[in-house]
Amino acid sequence: ELSMAEADLAAAEADWETPVERERAVPVARAAREETEAELAQLPAMIEAEQARLERDQEELERARGARQQAAGSDLEVIVLEKAVKSQAATVEVMRKREGVLLAKRDRLVAELDAARRNAELRIPERKALDAARAAVAGASAAVARAEVASDEAQLLLDRMTIRAPIPGFVQ
C-alpha cells in the first residue's frame, strides 16, 4: 500500500511540476476565439457577395420573364431561374443569421479562455491530487509504523512468555 501511495505521489508531483494540459488549454482557447473573430470579420464581405449573386439572379430572372413574354424565352428557363433566386435568397438569409451564431460562439470562447486562464492559475485538481497523494503516503507510512509497533509488541510478549530455566537440565 505504501509503494502504491508513493507512486501516486510521484505522479501527482509530476502533474504539478509540469501542467501540460493546463498550459495547452489557454492557447487553444485563444486560437478558437481568434478564429471565430476572423469569421465574424469576414462575414460582411461574404454576405455582400451572396447578396450580389442574388441580385444577379434576380436580373436574369427578369430578363427571362421579359423574353418569355415576347416568345423569345422558355418557361423552363424562367422556372430554373426562379428556383435559383429562391435558393440564393435563402443563402443570403442564412449568412445574415450566421452573425448571431458567431457572436454567441465568440462569447462562449471568451468565457472558455477566461476559465482556462483561471484554471491554469489555480490548478485546483492538481493541488487536490497532490495533497491527496501526500496524505495517502502519510497514512500508509503510519500504517507501516503501526504494523512495526504491533510486531515489536508481539515479539516482546513472546519473549516474556518463554520460560527459561536458571540451569540446564530436564525435569522428571
Q: pLDDT (tens digit, 9 = 90+) per residue, 16-28?
A: 888 888 889 999 9
What is residue 74's predicted lDDT score, i.e. its pLDDT?
A: 84
**The predicted structure's pLDDT at residue 72:** 77
Q: State yes or no: pLDDT of 88 exceeds 90.
A: yes
- CA–CA distance, 88 with 96 (Å, rounded to integer): 12
Residue 94 has pLDDT above 80, yes or no: yes
pLDDT at 12 over 80: yes
Nearest C-alpha neighbor of 31 from the set 123, 99, 112: 112
What mean pLDDT, rounded, does the chain reach?
92
Name the band, by pLDDT with cuts 50, 70 and 90, for residue 79.
very high
Q: pLDDT at position 22, please?
A: 87
Span 70-74, average pLDDT? 81
- pLDDT tens for residues 95-153? 999 999 999 999 999 999 999 999 888 888 999 999 999 999 999 999 999 999 999 99
Of the candidates 163, 93, 129, 109, the one whose C-alpha atom is nearest the C-alpha of residue 5 is 129
pLDDT of 2 > 90? The answer is: no
Taking the C-alpha atoms of residue 169 and residue 172, their distance in angstroms, rounded to an integer, is 10
9, exposed or middle or buried, with CB in 10 Å at 0-12, 13-18, 19+? buried
